[in-house]
Every structure is written in structure tokens, then in C-alpha cells.
């Protein structure tokens, strides 16, 4: 799974093969529990890889999430990183469960507030968050959020219990407090048709 992030005014061309210079977060781990990454702490740190260990829950004593970063030397703490590319795919899928538009192993929620909260950085307003949990097309999907990304969750997906799901998986689905009384909107990607009530508990 790959996430790439772009500042306002970026000249990067959307698409996985055209964005190799972007800030990039990757993981091949399937998490057991939710883990929140604060954007500035992650890319502004001094390491390009790390482990999230949950000893009591780890499979065979392996880390819950092993992650890697690219291009951290280009991180600008003053920039507004509102663009994102999401790509989660299986090479040569064996059946339709692994094809684009089906529930994936991981779910990503993106927030404008620190610590994966809906409260903005000033603590004054609630912001929508954006959800992603589909297998992607090969080049992934890009979108622009209405705020600078402050944090994101890496979460277990719905693959194993997809029979319990309602509607379709999420690609840039706008959800959260500001849309609580209206249907969620899709920023980009024609794969999404989701019922809001399914996701309010997240």
C-alpha cells in the first residue's frame, strides 16, 4: 500500500509511475489494530523507516506495521500538503476479491486534525475526514482535500468480513462530522457508493 502527498501548486502528474519524487509512505504490513501517524512528525523526523510493535497481538512476534518513507529530504513544514495519491493493489489478482473496487486488506482515514481527530488545529471547528479501503487500479487514484493533511490512520481492512459490509468500498469518500446530516461525497473515483450510517462508528 502506497500513499503519496503533494503540496499546493505541485507540478507532479498524478499517477503512481509519474510521482516518484513525492513524499511517499509505504507498507506491506496488514495491521492488527489502528495506528495513527501525525504527518509532520512522520515526514519531519530523522528516519525513513520504522516499526509499530504491539507485542501482545503481533503474529509470530512480527511488527504490526512496518513502514518506509521516501523523499523525506523534500518535506517542507510550511507547505500545505492537501494532495494525495492512494494505491493499494494486488499484482495479477487471482479472483475478483482482489480486483479494483473490492474491499482491501487495509483502510486509510485522512484527517485535517492532529492525532486522527476531526477537530482542526486551532481547536475551533470540526473537519470531515476522508476514507479509502478499495483495491486500486494499477496507477492508483489522486484527489485534493480541502485542508492540509495533519494525520492519517492505517487500519485493518474489511476483506475477511466483507459479507458484513453494506454498499461499496471507499475511494476518497468524504465522511465525518461536517457531513453527518448529508450523504458523503466522493472527491475522485467512480467506485464509491456508500451509506453514511455504515461508517459513523469509525
Q: What is the per-residue pLDDT for 168?
A: 80
Question: Residue 70 burial by CB count (10 A; 0-12/13-18/19+): exposed, middle or buried?
Answer: middle
Question: In terms of Cα–Cα distance, which of 115, 95, 132 is closest to 42?
Answer: 115
pLDDT band at residue 166, thresholds of 50, 70 and 90?
low
* Euclidean distance between CA atoms 110 and 132, whole angstroms: 9
Of 3-17, 46-60, 187-201, the poorest mean pLDDT is in: 187-201
Mean pLDDT across the chain: 81
pTM: 0.80
Q: What is the per-residue pLDDT for 155?
A: 92
Question: In terms of Cα–Cα distance, which of 112, 139, 130 is closest to 12?
Answer: 139
* Contact assessment for residue 38 and residue 150, using Cβ atoms and an 8 Å cutoff: yes
Of 1-15, 56-70, 80-94, the poorest mean pLDDT is in: 56-70
* Contact assessment for residue 67 and residue 50, using Cβ atoms and an 8 Å cutoff: yes
The pLDDT of residue 56 is above 70: no
Q: What's the average model confidence in pLDDT over 162-182?
A: 67
The pLDDT of residue 49 is above 70: yes
Strands laid side by side in the 151-156 sheet: 35-38, 151-156, 103-111, 129-134, 173-175
CA dihedral defined by 21, 149, 110, 138, rounded to 10 degrees? -20
Amino acid at each position: 500500500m502506497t500513499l503519496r502527498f503533494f503540496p499546493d501548486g505541485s507540478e507532479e502528474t498524478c499517477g503512481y509511475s509519474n510521482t516518484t519524487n513525492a513524499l511517499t509512505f509505504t507498507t506491506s504490513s496488514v495491521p492488527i489494530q489502528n495506528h495513527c501517524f501525525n504527518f509532520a512528525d512522520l515526514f519531519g523526523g530523522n528516519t525513513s523507516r520504522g516499526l509499530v510493535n504491539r507485542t501482545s497481538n503481533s503474529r509470530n512476534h512480527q511488527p504490526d506495521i512496518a513502514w518506509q518513507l521516501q523523499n523525506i529530504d523534500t518535506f517542507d513544514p510550511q507547505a500545505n500538503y492537501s494532495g494525495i495519491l492512494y494505491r493499494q493493489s494486488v499484482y495479477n489478482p487471482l479472483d475478483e476479491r482482489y480486483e479494483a473496487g473490492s474491499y482491501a486488506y487495509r483502510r486509510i482515514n485522512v484527517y485535517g486534525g492532529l492525532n486522527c481527530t476531526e477537530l482542526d488545529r486551532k481547536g475551533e471547528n470540526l473537519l470531515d475526514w476522508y476514507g479509502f479501503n478499495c483495491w486500486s487500479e494499477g496507477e492508483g487514484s489522486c484527489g485534493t482535500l480541502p485542508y492540509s493533511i495533519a494525520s492519517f490512520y492505517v487500519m485493518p481492512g474489511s476483506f475477511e468480513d466483507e459479507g458484513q459490509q453494506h454498499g461499496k468500498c471507499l475511494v476518497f469518500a468524504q465522511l465525518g462530522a461536517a457531513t453527518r446530516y448529508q450523504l458523503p461525497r466522493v472527491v475522485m473515483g467512480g467506485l464509491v457508493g456508500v451509506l453514511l450510517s455504515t461508517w459513523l462508528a469509525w
